[in-house]
Amino acid sequence: MEKHGEKHNIVILSALGGHDVAARAIKEQFDLRYSDCEVIIIPMNEYAGRFLMRVNDGFYTFCCRFAPWVFGIYFKFMAARLARKLKRLGKKYVSLGRDGARIREESALYPVKRLKNIYDRFEPKVFVSVQSMPQGLAVAAKKRYKFDSKVVAVISDYALDKLYVRYGCDGYVVDNEEMKRELNELGIEDEKVRVFGLSAFNKFLVRNDKQKMREHFGLPDRPTVIITGGSFGAGKMKTIFRHLLENFKDINVVAIAGRNEKLKAKFEKIKTELNAENAYILGFTTEFDKLLDAADAMICKPGAMSVNEAFLKGVPVISVYPMPSVEAMNVRYFKEKDLCMCPDNPRQVGEQLRLLLENPEVRQKYIEKISRHSKRDATKNIADYIYSLIDKQNN
């Protein structure tokens, strides 16, 4: 479906890692299907400032690599603080006829001048947030400056991070019915919540021939497992990498270090030390979709975007070492739905990988489960929903 006519601006407030992937996937849909829309992705340094961006980036990266427990303390503190605030604001939200614009306490918590500058520059019909911090900024700015833009939160996780909950937000996109029920329980109207799934690039909807993709990457035609810590290369991946090389001599072990050059060097050192000819090491790659086509399994942190991409490709996932945050909540969801194997240590990773590779019934069970769970039209539906909000403003 392609639209024609006057250009409508849509601003996506992006963030780091998988959040940026979600933003660019939504933009891809608009670029392909809506010629009357212009999607502008605003990076964190423009809406939050370079200093706050570096603090946020530096703190999260440090915690990912060295001290996850520190982030766990921060996350629990923020969640408890927000739960108290939501209880208070939620009652006021309902008592005032759900008029979110009249709740002023929330908008006073954010430095929103930069959002006003972005609004004045682009006059967007819709602000789309793919992370909780810009979600709060956008809702607060709309309340303070009386923007007529709609504000939509696209939540890129399998569980609800309550930091996304903002009374006065015009719409939410979530992955599953459990998240929708939780938003409803917090006072968010049912009609504001859409269960569409997680966004992904179109290339993850295409299945390429496994043998040809192995040839493309110079991999022998044998079972292949991917190890990745996401774009930050986080988690205890080098420990798992060593364990697999010591115990699995007859498979390809493809380790993706992301932008973590130190981790890549450590992978290389382990490969040399063990003289492991079945090890293949990559840094940041734009061909992750093709690597998934070559793979029989993926071992990764429970970051929702990477897991969703594997699900769309029909690749079973072994989820390891979650950050004590929404990632841990993702793992609980995976266990509840039996979507992923979730081991606690490298030895269990090896045991479950062997089961996955050597037991056809177990492997087929996970392939069927993730295929049923995957929402292949998610990004298309998200774009259509955002466009429908523009239509409502014009009518």
Q: Is residue 140 part of a domain?
A: yes
The pLDDT tens digits for 296-333 are 999 998 889 999 999 999 999 999 988 777 888 999 99
The pLDDT tens digits for 218-269 are 999 999 999 997 555 555 788 999 999 999 999 999 999 888 888 899 999 9
User: Torsion-angle region of residue 257: left (phi > 0), alpha (psi -120 to 50) or beta?
Assistant: alpha
CA 202 to chain centre: 16
Q: Are residues 166 and 247 in the same domain?
A: no
Q: What is the band of 168 on the pLDDT scale with cuts at 50, 70, 90?
A: confident
**Whole-number percent of the chain with pLDDT over 70:** 79
Kindly report the average pLDDT of the chain as a whole number: 85
Q: Are residues 220 and 234 in the same domain?
A: yes
Q: Are residues 185 and 258 in the same domain?
A: no
Q: Is residue 148 part of a domain?
A: yes
Q: Are residues 142 and 222 in the same domain?
A: no
**pLDDT greater than 50 at residue 4:** no
Q: What is the pLDDT of residue 84?
A: 64
d(CA 197, CA 348): 30
The pLDDT tens digits for 326-363 are 888 999 999 999 999 999 888 899 999 999 999 999 99
Q: Are residues 41 and 169 in the same domain?
A: yes
Q: Is residue 1 part of a domain?
A: no
Domain limits at 232? 206-373
Q: Are residues 148 and 223 in the same domain?
A: no
Q: Are residues 216 and 291 in the same domain?
A: yes
Q: Are residues 134 and 45 in the same domain?
A: yes
Q: Are residues 380 and 367 in the same domain?
A: no
Closest C-alpha among 254, 217, 234 to residue 322: 234
CA 349 to chain centre: 23
Q: Is residue 220 part of a domain?
A: yes
pTM score, two decimals? 0.85
Q: Are residues 123 and 157 in the same domain?
A: yes
Residue 237, class by beta-carbon neighbours within 10 Å (0-12 exposed, 13-18 middle, 19+ buried)? buried
Q: Is residue 111 part of a domain?
A: yes
Q: What is the band of 293 on the pLDDT scale with cuts at 50, 70, 90?
A: very high
Q: Is residue 3 part of a domain?
A: no
Q: What is the band of 52 on the pLDDT scale with cuts at 50, 70, 90?
A: low
d(CA 326, CA 129): 17
- Choose from 103-112, 252-261, 368-377 the range with maximum mean pLDDT: 368-377
Report long-range pairs for 42-48 (Cβ below 8 Å, ≥24 apart). Answer: 42/11, 42/12, 42/13, 42/14, 42/118, 43/14, 44/14, 44/15, 44/16, 44/134, 46/114, 46/118, 47/13, 47/114, 47/115, 47/118, 47/134, 47/137, 48/114, 48/133, 48/134, 48/137
Q: Are residues 94 and 61 in the same domain?
A: yes
CATH number, domain containing residue 253: 3.40.50.2000
Sheet with 252-256: list strands edge to edge.
Answer: 279-282, 252-256, 224-228, 297-300, 317-319
Q: What is the pLDDT of residue 123?
A: 94
Q: Are residues 85 and 224 in the same domain?
A: no
- Contact, 132 vs 161, CB < 8 A? yes
Domain count for the chain: 2
**pLDDT greater than 80 at residue 91:** no
Q: Is residue 2 part of a domain?
A: no
The pLDDT tens digits for 11-46 are 999 887 788 999 999 999 999 999 999 999 998 878
Q: Is residue 186 part of a domain?
A: yes
